[in-house]
Amino acid sequence: MNTQNELGGLVYKSAPSKTFFYFSVVIMILFSAICALIYFGGILPVKNGTAHFSGDISVLYGAIAFIMTLAILIILLANYRTKGAVFYICEQGIIADHKGQQKATRFADMRDIYLFSSGRQLYFLNNLAYRSNEHQEWQAIPTTYRNSAKVIEYIRTQHQAIHAPKVLQHLSAGKSITFHYIDQSAVIAKKFTAIGTKSFLKVQSKELILQKDSLKIGDQLIPLSDVQRFSVSDWTSQIQLFDRQGKPLLKTFFSSVFSGDTFVFVLNRLVNP
């Protein structure tokens, strides 16, 4: 891969991890050794008359067939998990390589960044997907990819650094900015029901409209002059707005708002100028 392109030098390369595949090879060797032990230590002596087996010897053949079938299924699954796009994260954007078909996306052109958690992690956002607009398919970098944590952190940092000043500039000019979000119920449902990365990406987003003096999310319009305090919980990763009486005006998961880093940065600047 020639990193001297219009997106600048290569920072990270992220591809499907082969750890599970290597583990499956070890399993295949181990299972093969078990089968060899069954055959040479059990079946062959019985056939040669040097050992006695009280049951049907076909049971031993069945055991070998089952063990080897299981080993083959594991290695096929592991091999399947090594397939996927390769991402080249450059200084100014990302190149996604799908079987030789390359698609470059500048950080400046990324409209939405969607963060979600999978596996045993409840609040740690260990997966990232991006798109240039709501009509494009998501490009996902899951936690199973090499360098995923560093890649996700780098993309989030670069995206916020580029987009937050632009958003503030547009708002100061009296324009509105539209973010996209998904309901909290959808975030929770995906966490416990999604099977694989593709399931997480099947979401219906809604519009969140931010102006320099108000925030409209769904049917709720929140004048920012009513907001006394703004915070993002470290434990539950919730964006929270409170009025002067300490009552919550808004509570939503950080991960439910696309490009959440930019949204939180801008909202903090508007509430706490």
Residue range of the domain that includes 236: 86-271
Task: Indicate if 262 and 188 belong to the same structural domain.
Answer: yes
Q: Is the pLDDT of residue 189 over 70?
A: yes
Separation in Å, CA 261 to CA 1, 187, 221: 30, 17, 21
What confidence score (pLDDT) does residue 141 get?
94
Task: Indicate if 133 and 266 belong to the same structural domain.
Answer: yes
Could you report the per-residue pLDDT of 134-161, keeping only the tens digit for each?
A: 888 999 999 889 999 999 999 999 999 9
Residues 15 and 84 sit within 8 Å (Cβ to Cβ) = yes
Q: Is residue 110 part of a domain?
A: yes
Task: Indicate if 237 and 153 belong to the same structural domain.
Answer: yes
Q: Is residue 4 part of a domain?
A: no
* CA dist., res. 54 & res. 112, Å (int): 67
Residues 128 and 112 sit within 8 Å (Cβ to Cβ) = no
Task: Indicate if 132 and 38 belong to the same structural domain.
Answer: no
The percent of residues in the chain predicted with pLDDT above 90, rounded, is: 41
Task: Indicate if 68 and 137 belong to the same structural domain.
Answer: no
Could you report the per-residue pLDDT of 99-113, keeping only the tens digit for each?
A: 888 899 999 999 999
Task: Indicate if 200 and 267 belong to the same structural domain.
Answer: yes
Could you report the per-residue pLDDT of 200-230, keeping only the tens digit for each?
A: 888 888 999 999 999 998 888 988 888 888 8
Candidate ranges 20-34, 159-173, 193-207; pick with highest mean pLDDT: 159-173
Q: Is the pLDDT of residue 123 over 90?
A: no
What confidence score (pLDDT) does residue 96 get?
92
Instruction: Say what angle helices 58-81 and 19-38 make with each other, to 10 degrees.
Output: 170
Listed residues 81, 112, 131: the one ending a domain: 81
DSSP state of 39: I
Separation in Å, CA 153 to CA 125, 148, 245, 269: 10, 8, 36, 22
Q: Is the pLDDT of residue 94 over 80?
A: yes
- 0.85 surpassed by pTM: no
Could you report the per-residue pLDDT of 164-177, keeping only the tens digit for each?
A: 999 999 999 999 99
More confident residue, 194 or 248: 248
Phi, psi of 158 (to 5 degrees): -65, -40
- 30 — pLDDT class (breaks 50, 70, 90): very high
Task: Indicate if 74 and 126 belong to the same structural domain.
Answer: no
Task: Report the side by side order of strands in the sheet with 206-211.
Answer: 177-181, 206-211, 214-217, 220-223
Task: Indicate if 54 and 138 belong to the same structural domain.
Answer: no
- 4 — pLDDT class (breaks 50, 70, 90): very low
What confidence score (pLDDT) does residue 5 get?
65
* CA dist., res. 220 & res. 24, Å (int): 52
Task: Indicate if 91 and 70 belong to the same structural domain.
Answer: no
Task: Indicate if 124 and 63 belong to the same structural domain.
Answer: no
What confidence score (pLDDT) does residue 47 get?
77
Number of domains in the chain: 2
Catalogue the E-assigned strands of the chain.
10-14, 86-90, 93-98, 101-106, 112-116, 127-131, 139-141, 177-181, 206-211, 214-217, 220-223, 229-232, 238-242, 248-253
Task: Indicate if 137 and 43 belong to the same structural domain.
Answer: no
Q: Is residue 11 part of a domain?
A: no
Residues 71 and 35 sit within 8 Å (Cβ to Cβ) = no
Q: Is residue 125 part of a domain?
A: yes
Task: Indicate if 51 and 121 belong to the same structural domain.
Answer: no
Listed residues 81, 107, 132: the one ending a domain: 81
Q: How many CA atoms lie within 13 A of 175 on its CB side?
A: 8
Could you report the per-residue pLDDT of 223-266, keeping only the tens digit for each?
A: 888 888 888 866 667 888 888 888 888 888 898 999 999 999 99
Three-state DSSP class for 205? coil
